[in-house]
């Protein structure tokens, strides 16, 4: 029997699971109706959630716990950032309830994002994943590749600090919208064992700042015929990922590293970590998100609700 | 009496001067009809040049010497890159003549761009400016701010090597098209004594790679209310320019530096060079371009033509 519905509502994707009291997944419903879709349409957020709840055949009194961009200022209901350090109890306690008139009376709550004040940084959604990882016993650094890649320090079951990198967005901007676009092939898929990717990784890992002086050269080399378009894309990716990992090397010293994987991008980061001499444990992003949502749901609705 | 017409035909601007044999400027004609305008219109290049020649009242037999993007592959007539090292004679000797049917029989030539093979890099237009600087006695490093900022080493009257940085284009992409755009004010004009600009300069000069970990924080700080939009723009500019100058510090050691100025951007680079502890001589970009074109014209048409 369903104890609650767990939802990961990101910028571009929606994922919901009905969860039993023991934490097992009963059913799943996913779509591309992310925050950007809902905020930009006349439909809005409520009908999207209702449709997925219907698809999951969720009883009318089953509560829903949401993490991610649905809680952003431009999302459904703003769930103001919680601040560091953030144990499960702090996140759960800061969850914001969606007004009942928008939920047909159902108890629907959105977990806050996480803000770091000293070195300004924010996240929405990853904090729940990180709690899931912490609860699974991970300690040390978590590397979370993506448009805005994040490196977080897990200590004593909570997030102690983190830093975001624009790496994914920079690759997109440079490969599609800068002068370098003239040197890019149609397919921007990079193989993690591409020699041009690996050579660029090594260059940037050894000296992250070398990236600056190497970017324009990508266009020049293609223009002068000394590098193919496929090699140019691999070089750009290797320079950017290598610079990011290179910047984190000092922080990674003596720490266990967990790589929160995504299909293609995860393999590129795995190659970078390997090249940097960092051993790491892979982790599944969705599993971590669900574990974080389950822990927070127990905190909010108590063991009775989640063990009925 | 006009000896020849000197033209600087850039991506977005056209500038022509009628030059006396002694090198003095008799008249000037300028517009926004750069390479991108001409290549993208049905008009093309020839009528634009003719209109400016008419405006300068250039006699039908006066030759024309052009530098810049008009010689690019996507320009008027491709003038293949000359390679390093590049004294005046090499550039002048590699000038390409525009077919007479496109010039009403006039002798019109386009100077080549400059290519560096070992660390792939290219320039078009700046090489002529650099020759002008070299002829004026400049030795050492020339810093040329712009969309694609260039640092060139001048030795014994020629360009010995150079490196381009995407700094200006990165500022544009990040401030207008990335997640950071949400943190930017309407006016992106930065004052060279803005404290947020100077603090970011210092950070990136000391550690150019620090930029990577600091970019996303610009958005986060504005979101958390700890930095205004004006400060965010100044910080982005300071981080980018500081990282570029910081990357060049080792190359600048023991070298004289000349800063080839442009109004607003030149002042920001002057602040960065000052903050980096580099003393420099300012130079006028247009004057340098004309000096390079005059020297090349003398090489091509001889002293007779240029002293008639």
Q: Which domain holds residue A49?
A: 2-133+293-306
Band of pLDDT at residue B305, cut at 50, 70 and 90: low
Chain A residue with minimal CA distance to B175?
A173
Cβ neighbours of residue A217 under 8 Å, at least 6 residues apart?
B119, B120, B121, B164
Band of pLDDT at residue B89, cut at 50, 70 and 90: confident
User: Among all chains, which residue has been given the structure tokens 């803000």?
Assistant: A115
Instruction: Write the residue in B221, B243, B246 that is nearest to A120 by C-beta.
Output: B221
Q: Are residues A11 and A54 in the same domain?
A: yes
Q: Are residues A185 and A82 in the same domain?
A: no
pLDDT at A96: 97
Chain B residue with minimal CA distance to A177?
B173
Inter-chain residue contact A247 with B212, CB threshold 8 Å: yes
pLDDT at B308: 39
A308 has pLDDT over 60: no
CATH of the domain at A95: 3.30.420.300
What's the total number of domains in chain A?
A: 2
Inter-chain residue contact A216 with B174, CB threshold 8 Å: no
Structure tokens at B212: 């990577």
Q: Does A223 touch chain B (CB under 8 A)?
A: yes
- Smallest CA–CA separation between A107 and chain B, in Å? 29
**In-domain check, residue A143:** no
Q: What is the mean pLDDT of chain A?
A: 94
pLDDT at B85: 87
Least confident span in A15-29, A254-268, B121-135:
A254-268
**In-domain check, residue A157:** no
pLDDT at B30: 96
Q: Are residues B8 and B128 in the same domain?
A: yes
**In-domain check, residue B160:** no
| DSSP β-bridge partners for residue A16 | A7, A29
Q: Are residues A230 and A299 in the same domain?
A: no
**In-domain check, residue B144:** no
pLDDT at B1: 86
pLDDT at A190: 96
Continuous segment of H or E residues that includes residue B291: helix B285-306
pLDDT at A304: 45
| 3-state helix/strand/coil string of B60-126 | CCCCEEEEEHHHCCCCCCCCCCEECCECHHHHHHCCEECCHHHCCCCCEEECCCEEECCCCEEECCH
Band of pLDDT at residue A233, cut at 50, 70 and 90: very high
B304 has pLDDT over 50: no
- Smallest CA–CA separation between B216 and chain A, in Å? 6
Q: Are residues B48 and B79 in the same domain?
A: yes
- Smallest CA–CA separation between B217 and chain A, in Å? 5
**Helices in chain A by DSSP H: which ranges?**
35-39, 46-55, 88-93, 126-135, 167-177, 195-206, 210-223, 229-252, 263-275, 285-306
Band of pLDDT at residue B192, cut at 50, 70 and 90: very high
Q: Are residues B63 and B91 in the same domain?
A: yes
Q: What is the mean pLDDT of chain B?
A: 94
Q: Are residues B295 and B231 in the same domain?
A: no
pLDDT at B40: 81
Inter-chain residue contact B174 with A173, CB threshold 8 Å: yes
**In-domain check, residue A218:** yes
* Contacts across the A-B interface (CB distance below 8 Å): 115
**In-domain check, residue B54:** yes
pLDDT digits (tens, 9 = 90+) for A107-146: 999 999 999 998 999 999 999 999 999 999 999 999 999 9
Q: Are residues A96 and A177 in the same domain?
A: no
CATH of the domain at A207: 3.30.420.310
Band of pLDDT at residue A177, cut at 50, 70 and 90: very high
pLDDT at A305: 53
Instruction: Write the residue in A122, A148, A246 that is nearest to B224 by C-beta.
Output: A122
Q: Are residues B75 and B103 in the same domain?
A: yes
pLDDT at A42: 84
The proportion of chain A whose per-residue pLDDT surpasses 70, expressed as a percent, equals 98
**In-domain check, residue B152:** no
Q: Are residues B86 and B206 in the same domain?
A: no
What is the complex's ipTM, to 2 decimals?
0.92
Q: Which of residues 104-143 of B touch A (CB under 8 A)?
A: 115-117, 119-122
pLDDT at B42: 84
Of A4 and B157, more confident: A4
Chain B residue with minimal CA distance to A169?
B178
A303 has pLDDT over 70: no
- Mean pLDDT throughout A157-171? 94
Q: Are residues B24 and B133 in the same domain?
A: yes
- Smallest CA–CA separation between A239 and chain B, in Å? 12
pLDDT digits (tens, 9 = 90+) for B21-71: 999 999 999 999 999 999 988 889 999 999 999 999 999 999 999 999 999
Q: Are residues B250 and B296 in the same domain?
A: no
**In-domain check, residue B151:** no
Q: Which residues on chain B are in Cβ contact (under 8 Å) with A167?
A: 212
Q: Does B226 touch chain A (CB under 8 A)?
A: yes
Q: Which of B196, B214, B216, B252 to mutate to test the interface with A (most CBs of A within 10 A)?
A: B216
Instruction: Write the residue in B165, B174, B219 that is nearest to A212 by C-beta.
Output: B165
Chain B residue with minimal CA distance to A168?
B178
């Amino acid at each position: 029997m369903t104890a609650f519905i767990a939802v990961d509502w990101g910028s571009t994707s929606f994922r919901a699971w009905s969860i039993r009291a023991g934490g097992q997944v009963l059913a799943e419903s996913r779509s591309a109706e992310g925050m950007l879709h809902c905020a930009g349409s006349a439909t809005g957020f409520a009908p999207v959630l209702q449709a997925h709840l219907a698809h999951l055949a969720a009883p009318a009194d089953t509560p829903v716990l949401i993490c991610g961009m649905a809680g952003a200022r431009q999302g459904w209901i703003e769930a103001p950032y919680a601040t560091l350090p953030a144990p499960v109890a702090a996140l759960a306690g800061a969850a914001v309830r969606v007004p009942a008139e928008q939920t047909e009376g159902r108890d629907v709550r959105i977990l806050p994002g996480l803000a770091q004040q000293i070195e300004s940084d924010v996240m929405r959604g990853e904090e729940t994943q990180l709690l899931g990882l912490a609860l699974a016993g991970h300690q040390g650094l978590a590397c979370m590749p993506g448009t805005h890649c994040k490196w977080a320090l897990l200590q004593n079951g909570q997030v102690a600090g983190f830093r975001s990198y624009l790496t994914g967005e920079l690759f997109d901007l440079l490969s599609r919208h800068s002068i370098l676009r003239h040197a890019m092939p149609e397919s921007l898929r990079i193989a993690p064992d591409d020699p041009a990717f690996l050579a660029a990784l090594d260059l940037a890992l050894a000296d992250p700042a070398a990236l600056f002086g190497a970017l324009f050269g990508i266009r020049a080399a293609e223009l002068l015929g000394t590098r193919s378009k496929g090699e140019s894309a691999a070089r750009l990716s290797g320079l950017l990922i290598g610079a990011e990992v290179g910047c984190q090397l000092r922080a990674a010293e003596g720490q266990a590293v967990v790589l929160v994987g995504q299909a293609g991008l995860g393999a590129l980061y795995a190659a970078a970590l390997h090249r940097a001499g960092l051993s790491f444990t892979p982790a599944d992003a969705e599993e971590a998100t669900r574990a974080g949502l389950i822990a927070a749901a127990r905190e909010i609705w108590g063991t009775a609700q989640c063990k009925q």
